[in-house]
Structure 1
Amino acid sequence: MNRLSLNQITTKTWSVPEAVAGCAESGVEWIGLWRDKVAETGVQETAKLIKDHGLKVSSLCRGGFFTNVTPEGSFVDGLAETKTALDEAAQLGADVLVLVVGGIADNDLSGSRQQVADAIGALAPLALERGVRLGLEPLHPMQCAERSVLSTVDQALAIAEEHPTEAVGVVIDEFHVWWDPRIEESIAKASGRIAGFHVCDQLVPLTDTLMGRALPGDGPINHRHLRACVEAAGYTGPIEVEVFNTALWQRPGAEVLAAVITSYQTHVQ
């Protein structure tokens, strides 16, 4: 299990101390942190907890929203927030800062994508200084309007390739890209640029474009196939189990983590 990482959203009710202790007790060596949870505990205290428990941070979620469009409709200075997130990621020892780039601004899709490209251009030098890789995560097309104008790995890769590999990469999240008829070719093209691999399944029927996720094995996604693709493209890093699911969140954190481990071993490993 030395590659399994618990993405903190999967055990949403757990605080940072609870999630860190749960991982350490269960033999999970990696954790993917969320900034809101880190803020509750504090960046320095979180970093200390990670070190004291012998864990490693696979990613920090999230930066982005460079179009200043959020699902809530509130304004956010995405560039400034992401600079702060980069500093936090560096303090936490995170390998990657995951980016959700923002939805469509002013009904201008191409212009919105250019805003994202411009923001990455401004941030890449800072990422190099901090030693944290920017991870562009394309989201399912149904989330294009409010969350991400990048819907495919190819679109994310086109921006990433303009910058040093160690500064900008792409995050492959199964829920968002498994449907793409070009996914095998896109992953192969991303060789050396894959900054993260997130696994989960899709509920059938799909109940919600955000929350309609399940643990690996409870849906149609071929996890071993996609894992083989990312590994053939050179990715050997941590594999995050990231599940947005309200029913799962109602269960005790330790029970959820045990289910994560079982599903990972059975359907991904």
Structure 2
Amino acid sequence: MNRFSLNQATTKRWPLDELVAGCVSAGVPAVGLWREEVAAYGLDKAATLVREAGLQVSSLCRGGFFHEEDWYDNNRRAIEEAATLGTDTLVLVSGGLPGKSRDIDGARRHISEAIGALVPDARAAGVRLAIEPLHPMFCSDRCVVATLGQALEIAAPHPADAVGVCLDTYHLWWDDQVWRHIDEAGRQGRIAAFQLADWITPLPAGVLLGRGLPGTGCVDLRRFATAVRAAGYEGYVEVEVFHEDVWSRPGPEVLAEAYAGYRAFAA
């Protein structure tokens, strides 16, 4: 279990203090946290909670959304929050097209420039920016970075310990180029986070909530885990799932199934 992490999104309705207690009871070493839930609980209070429980924070989600007007201040706050929580990884979801724009190339250029502007703040805080590509269906409103190759291009001008990438199986499983890009990311030392989730069919009406626990869908999760391990990644494997049916179940039950899926496909 020493590389398993439960991402807070998987048990969205499990209160943070109960989640932490449940992870400690189950022997889970790490949690991935979300800014909204941390803010609702209280940043300093949450940092004290996980620290005193002996848990590591594998990542904080999310920074990014660079199409918003206050992107710089918001991301600086996110970097500070990550440092306060004791994690060295801030996951970035880049954001979609601004306003009524159709200029996707321009949006990607802006993201590259924005990340460059944040690098000094991130390095000063000891926090690594992890660019997460999302499935192309989210390009318009959530993330114009749709492939691992695009994420690596944006990261390329910056030191690997400052800007890395987050690999999420749900978002990358469709791409036949992903295997060479995983190898490239490993050679560059840029794999900052690895998240495990399955693709279930049919997708629900809200496609963002169409993730399944490992083993419930069609993704070759073992191939991903093997490729990421071969690329040299030795960090935590987060199980991160968004689905109403999963959220409606008791937290300890979901945790147990998430860990079983991790054991089956990624341990």
By the TM > 0.5 criterion, same fold?
yes
* 1:192-211 map, 5 Å: 192-207=189-204, 208-211=206-209
What secondary structure does 2:134 align onto? coil
CA distance in 2, matches of 1:178, 1:193: 19
CA distance in 1, matches of 2:93, 2:212: 21
- From 68, 90, 94, give the equivalent of 1:101: 94
* 1:218-257 map, 5 Å: 218-257=216-255
Map of 1:160 onto structure 2: 155
* 1:14-25 map, 5 Å: 14-25=14-25
CA shift for structure 1 position 194: 0.5
What secondary structure does 2:44 align onto? helix
CA deviation string 1:111-146 (max 9, x = no partner): 100110010110011111100100000000000000
The answer to whether the 8 A contact 2:32-2:60 is kept is: yes
Paired-residue identity, %: 50
CA deviation string 1:37-91 (max 9, x = no partner): 11112111111111111100000000111122xxxxxxx5122111000000001
| Residues 1:54 and 2:51 are matched in the alignment | no
Map of 1:91 onto structure 2: 84
CA deviation string 1:20-50 (max 9, x = no partner): 1111111110100001111112111111111
The answer to whether the 8 A contact 1:101-1:150 is kept is: yes
Equivalences, count: 262
Superposition RMSD in Å? 1.0
Map of 2:35 onto structure 1: 35
- From 108, 117, 122, give the equivalent of 1:122: 117
The answer to whether the 8 A contact 2:30-2:55 is kept is: yes
CA shift for structure 1 position 4: 0.4
Q: 245-254 vs 199-208, which deviates more?
A: 199-208
In the superposition, the TM-score normalised over structure 2's length comes to 0.96
| Residues 1:183 and 2:181 are matched in the alignment | no
- Matched to 2:198, the amino acid is D
CA distance in 1, matches of 2:207, 2:231: 28
CA shift for structure 1 position 215: 0.6
In the superposition, the TM-score normalised over structure 1's length comes to 0.95
CA deviation string 1:184-209 (max 9, x = no partner): 00111111100100001011223343
CA distance in 1, matches of 2:32, 2:165: 16
The answer to whether the 8 A contact 2:225-2:265 is kept is: no
Q: 251-260 vs 27-36, which deviates more?
A: 251-260
Which consecutive residues of structure 1, in runs of 5 or more, have no partner in the other structure?
Answer: 69-75
What secondary structure does 1:31 align onto? strand
CA distance in 1, matches of 2:195, 2:264: 16
- Matched to 2:174, the amino acid is W
- Matched to 2:170, the amino acid is F
Q: 171-180 vs 18-27, which deviates more?
A: 18-27
CA deviation string 1:158-190 (max 9, x = no partner): 011110111100000000001101010011111
What secondary structure does 1:190 align onto? helix
CA shift for structure 1 position 15: 2.0
Map of 2:144 onto structure 1: 149
CA distance in 2, matches of 1:83, 1:141: 27
| Residues 1:259 and 2:252 are matched in the alignment | no
The answer to whether the 8 A contact 2:6-2:238 is kept is: yes
Map of 1:71 onto structure 2: none
The answer to whether the 8 A contact 1:90-1:131 is kept is: yes
CA distance in 2, matches of 1:262, 1:190: 28
CA distance in 2, matches of 1:194, 1:79: 24
Map of 2:9 onto structure 1: 9
